[in-house]
């Protein structure tokens, strides 16, 4: 049995406690693990991603005049999307064509993304009052290749999004949290690439990861989010920044 420090989480609400958040960050720094009980792993009921289209929800506006709060909301929206995706994958795993080892990896990725989602939810406090409605056009949750290609898209977008948003973060603790998460997302991206192209160099095609301006990330994420995403009062660099991709 592992002797790594462990924290058991059964309800995302426990992370609203400042003491719990401090303990969680300390746990992460020590290489500890978080065990998520089933009550944390809530998600969609449509396991295969096919069904009637949901009613069009209202717009979701993230106001960047709020500084770091807006950056956290931006990340929270993306983590909601990733968590929802992997919850669907795990729920549909029996008919997905994924091997047993691949299914086990998907469970790990789901747990990571759920924890990321809950950490941002807790950090935002009263500002976490929105839930995105995820949709997956063109993704077949009963097809291994479709699942893995979608996973690669989400992981690559996540890495590029954190890289692009980091320059706008002013709080050191927030920047530390983002750095810890983006390194995990990069590992996810490598693992997915290795499943798609085993024993190749595809896991690390370049020496430097992409950096996407937030406006580009928002446009890419919009494909998978029913709500109309609006980035209000964004700096000009959000649209025409020095980032290496758009």
**Residue 223: inside a domain, yes or no?**
yes
Task: Write out pLDDT tens, residues 35-48.
Answer: 555 555 555 444 44
pLDDT by residue (tens digit) across 74-127? 999 999 999 999 999 999 999 999 999 999 999 999 999 998 998 898 888 899
Residue 246 falls within a domain, yes or no? Answer: no
- The vertex-12 CA angle with 9 and 13, nearest 5°, equals 115
Of the candidates 94, 134, 146, the residue with the CA atom closest to the CA atom of residue 226: 134
Same domain membership, residue 233 and residue 179: yes
pLDDT of 133 reads 94
* 52: CATH: 1.20.1260.10
Q: Please report which confidence band the pLDDT of residue 53 belongs to, taking 50, 70 and 90 as the band edges.
A: very low
| Mean pLDDT, the chain, whole residue set | 79
Residue 1 pLDDT class (50, 70, 90 cuts): very low
Q: What is the mean pLDDT of residues 226-241?
A: 78
The helix-helix angle for 172-196 and 18-29 (nearest 10°) equals 50
Instruction: For residues 108 and 204, state if they share a domain.
Output: yes
Q: Is 190 inside any structural domain? A: yes
Same domain, yes or no: 21 and 131: no
Q: Are residues 77 and 8 in the same domain?
A: no
74 and 185 housed in the same domain: yes
Residues in the chain: 246
- Burial class of residue 223 (count of CB atoms within 10 Å of its CB; 0-12, 13-18, 19+): exposed
Q: Which domain holds residue 169?
A: 46-240
Q: What is the pLDDT of residue 107?
A: 94
What is the CB-side half-sphere exposure of residue 155 using CA atoms within 13 A? 23
Separation of alpha carbons 55 and 95, rounded Å: 28
Asked if 222 and 115 sit in the same domain, the reply is: yes
- Domain match, 145 and 221 both: yes
Residues 6+ apart with CB under 8 A from 162: 75, 178, 181, 182, 185
Write out pLDDT tens, residues 165-224: 888 899 998 888 888 898 899 889 989 998 998 876 665 556 566 778 888 889 999 999
Give the chain's domain count: 2
User: Same domain, yes or no, for 35 and 63?
Assistant: no
Residues 57 and 161 in one domain: yes
Q: Give the pTM.
A: 0.77
Q: In the numeric block, which tokens belong to residue 145?
A: 């290749």
pLDDT at 59: 86
Same domain, yes or no: 155 and 136: yes
Does one domain contain both 25 and 58? Answer: no
Claim to verify: residue 113 and residue 33 sit in the same structural domain: no
Evaluate whether residue 245 is within a structural domain: no
């Amino acid at each position: 049995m592992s002797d790594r420090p462990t924290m058991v989480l059964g309800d995302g609400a426990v992370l609203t406690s400042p003491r719990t958040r401090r303990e969680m960050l300390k746990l992460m720094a020590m290489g500890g693990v978080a065990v998520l009980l089933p009550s944390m792993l809530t998600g969609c009921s449509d396991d295969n991603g096919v069904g009637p289209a949901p009613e069009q929800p209202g717009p979701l506006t993230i106001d960047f005049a709020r500084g770091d709060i807006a950056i956290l909301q931006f990340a929270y929206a993306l983590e909601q999307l990733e968590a929802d995706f992997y919850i669907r994958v795990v729920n549909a795993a029996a008919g997905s064509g994924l091997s047993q080892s691949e299914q086990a990896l998907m469970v790990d990725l789901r747990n990571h993304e759920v924890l990321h989602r809950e950490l941002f939810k807790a950090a935002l406090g009263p500002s976490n009052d929105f839930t995105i409605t995820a949709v997956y056009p063109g993704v077949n949750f009963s097809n291994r290749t479709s699942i893995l290609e979608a996973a690669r898209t989400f992981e690559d977008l996540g890495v590029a999004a954190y890289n692009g948003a980091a320059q706008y973060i002013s709080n050191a603790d927030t920047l530390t949290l983002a750095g810890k998460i983006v390194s995990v997302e990069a590992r996810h991206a490598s693992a997915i690439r290795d499943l798609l192209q085993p024993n190749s160099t595809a896991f690390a095609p370049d020496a430097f990861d992409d950096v996407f301006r937030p406006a580009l990330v928002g446009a890419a994420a919009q494909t998978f989010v029913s709500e109309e995403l609006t980035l209000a009062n964004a700096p000009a660099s959000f649209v025409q920044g020095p980032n290496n991709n758009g």
